[in-house]
Amino acid sequence: MTRLFLAIDIPAGIREQVTAARDKLARGVKGVKWVEDHNLHLTLKFLGEVREERVSDIGQAVKSAVKGFRAFGLEVGNPGFFPHSRSPRVIWLDIKGNTEYALHIGESIDESLVPFGFDPDKRRRLHLTLGRIRSQGYNPDLMKNVKDFQGFPEKPAFEVEQVVLYSSELTSSGPIYSAVDKFVFND
């Protein structure tokens, strides 16, 4: 069994801007497990544990699902929380730009994976997870940093040209993500 998810990669230049923002938000904050730089991505669909012999067929289904799509633009926005700021569990950066198009791609992928037993996502919100909050309740240091966040010095916009199928190995030092396959739009 291998743990899989489908994601949009963040280009290196944008990743540097996001990392700088994450580091500002993390200053003096305890109780948050921050996402490592190399693990930053936009999840389109989490598949979970999948038998090895199904990976190739899943890849073919995703390839067919994204075939008719074209490259599109996204932009990284301001921080927010799941489920809400009163009792946050996840801190993330909002995604702007052609999000409806990205969500349409996610729906197409969902439809292609139904024959494999995957349920379509009921709610999908594009976001860039920065950290998982370990301590329950209000975190005043984190809230202050979010309130003081002034945005990005340069507009963090980027072009999305593909979807990546990743495997995720959970280790004691954090997850290790490895690209299994890439699905280029109009390919």
Domain 2-184 has CATH 3.40.640.10: no
159 burial via Cβ count (<10 Å: 0-12, 13-18, 19+): exposed
Question: Whole-model pTM?
Answer: 0.93
Q: Of 38, 41, 84, 104, which residue is the catalytic one? A: 41
Residue-wise pLDDT tens digits, 134-183: 987 778 999 999 999 998 988 899 999 999 999 999 999 889 999 999 99
DSSP category for residue 87: S
Q: Which two tokens stand for residue 164?
A: 């990546």
Cis amide bond preceding 83, omega within 30 = yes
Q: What percent of the chain has pLDDT over 90?
A: 86
Looking at the DSSP bridge assignments, the partners of residue 48 are 4
Q: Is 91 or 84 the better-scoring residue by pLDDT? A: 91
Point out which residues pair with 64 in neighbouring strands.
none
Q: Judge whether 104 counts as a catalytic residue.
A: no
Give me the pLDDT at residue 102, please. Answer: 97
Q: Which of the four pLDDT bands, split at 50, 70 and 90, describes residue 187?
A: low
